[in-house]
Amino acid sequence: MRKVFYLLSYLLLTGCETVVDLYRDEVSQPVMNCLLCPDSSRIRIDLKYSAKISSYPNFVAEKKAQISLTEEGQLVARARFDSLHEYYLIDYQVKPSCKYQVMAFLPSGDCLKGETQIPLPPAHSAITIDTTRYSFRITNRWHNISGEFQYYWIYAYGHWPDSHEILMHNPGCTSPLVDPFNVDIDSDFNPPMQYDGYMRIESPNDPATPISVTYTFSRGDETIWAHLISTDKNYDLYLKAYISNKLYREDVHELPIQYNPSYTYSNIEGGAGIVGSYCGICEKYQETHANPEDSL
């Protein structure tokens, strides 16, 4: 009886699930990524083509595009292609509050363009790292800017010797200002950060007020970099979309029935990607001992 049941179940399930190739004839999309930051005098523009979904995608770079940068409608620079790294470079320093447009003409005749307004940096900002405890306690202070919507992102990277930097996940934070987007009430973190270690704060159009956000995480890294940045609206939406899509793809294999994939935010006309901007501050702390207990 049981064998019959298994056989029927197998037939039913395999009959209902099929492998499909909806994108057999799918054409790669041009993707332009460019992040502008007033702290840097060099602008990098990546122009590549989207690739088939796989664990090791191969993004082919477009090497013959004509890319220009305009500031408040005036052409200010043209990009050159760095064939070693396969991206485009412009030596130019952008200014806060100014509007920039990046425009790329492809050899095919297509045109990609995206624009951004550089945000103001967090006003009167400071990051303090309290290292006197068993966990790092990082406090970010700044002033909201009156009359404008501001999007702030707070995060920290850690670094062990002989390894690359990693995002410090699951920070402990009780600030009600932090966006609790997609919080599962069953989560163990209080309040849980569902931006995968990033804390997002959307500052309303209120009078200028001081803001303070403190978070903690376990010590253990040789070096940490604590960041506080403000972003333009495009980059804010891009970060949200990316993180949502990443979380979906991490979980979907377990419960494919339960989730919808997140769509991708893009502000590029004629293709995909992002022309966004941010500016902010960073505080570095280098641990003399990996753990305070080691020094005891």
**Subset of 92-151 contacting other proteins (CB under 8 A):** none
Cα–Cα distance measured from residue 101 to residue 69, given in angstroms and rounded to the nearest whole number? 6
CB of 133 to other proteins, least distance (A): 25
Only segment of 10-18, 66-74, 91-99, 287-295 that touches other proteins (CB under 8 A):
10-18
Cα–Cα–Cα angle for 79, 82, 86, nearest 5°? 110
Residue 84 interacts with other proteins (CB under 8 A)? Answer: no
Please say which residue, 202 or 292, places its beta carbon nearer to other proteins: 202
Pick one of 2, 25, 73, 207: the residue that binds other proteins (CB under 8 A).
Answer: 2
Please say which residue, 255 or 296, places its beta carbon nearer to other proteins: 255
Residue 81 interacts with other proteins (CB under 8 A)? Answer: no
Residue 203 interacts with other proteins (CB under 8 A)? Answer: no
CB of 210 to other proteins, least distance (A): 21
Are 243 and 83 in contact, with CB atoms under 8 Å apart?
Answer: no
Pick one of 98, 139, 264, 283: the residue that binds other proteins (CB under 8 A).
Answer: 264
Closest CA to 234 of 136, 116, 100: 116
Which two structure tokens, joined as six digits, stand for 74? 């005036």
Pick one of 81, 90, 266, 287: the residue that binds other proteins (CB under 8 A).
Answer: 266
Residue 35 interacts with other proteins (CB under 8 A)? Answer: yes
Residue 245 interacts with other proteins (CB under 8 A)? Answer: yes
Residue 265 interacts with other proteins (CB under 8 A)? Answer: yes
Q: Which residue spans within 80-209 are E strands per DSSP?
A: 80-82, 87-91, 99-105, 111-117, 123-130, 135-143, 150-159, 166-167, 172-173, 199-203
Find all residues with CB under 8 Å of 233, minimum gap 6, and list them: 149, 151
In the block, residue with structure tokens 């970099």 = 225
Please say which residue, 190 or 288, places its beta carbon nearer to other proteins: 190
Q: How many residues bind other proteins (CB under 8 A)?
A: 90
| The total number of residues written for the chain in this structure | 296
Please say which residue, 192 or 292, places its beta carbon nearer to other proteins: 192
Closest CA to 120 of 141, 93, 91, 151: 151
Closest CA to 146 of 54, 221, 208: 208
The burial of 65, by beta-carbon neighbours within 10 Å (0-12 exposed, 13-18 middle, 19 or more buried), is given as buried
Only segment of 3-11, 64-72, 99-107, 133-141 that touches other proteins (CB under 8 A):
3-11
Residues 179-198 that bind other proteins (CB under 8 A): 180-186, 191, 198
Pick one of 237, 281, 290, 292: the residue that binds other proteins (CB under 8 A).
Answer: 237
Cα–Cα distance measured from residue 282 to residue 121, given in angstroms and rounded to the nearest whole number? 12
Only segment of 91-99, 120-128, 232-240, 286-294 that touches other proteins (CB under 8 A):
232-240
Per DSSP, the three-state class of 244 is helix
Pick one of 23, 73, 132, 295: the residue that binds other proteins (CB under 8 A).
Answer: 23
Please say which residue, 132 or 258, places its beta carbon nearer to other proteins: 258
Cβ atoms < 10 Å from Cβ of 244: 20
Residue 177 interacts with other proteins (CB under 8 A)? Answer: no
Residue 83 interacts with other proteins (CB under 8 A)? Answer: no
Per DSSP, the three-state class of 174 is coil
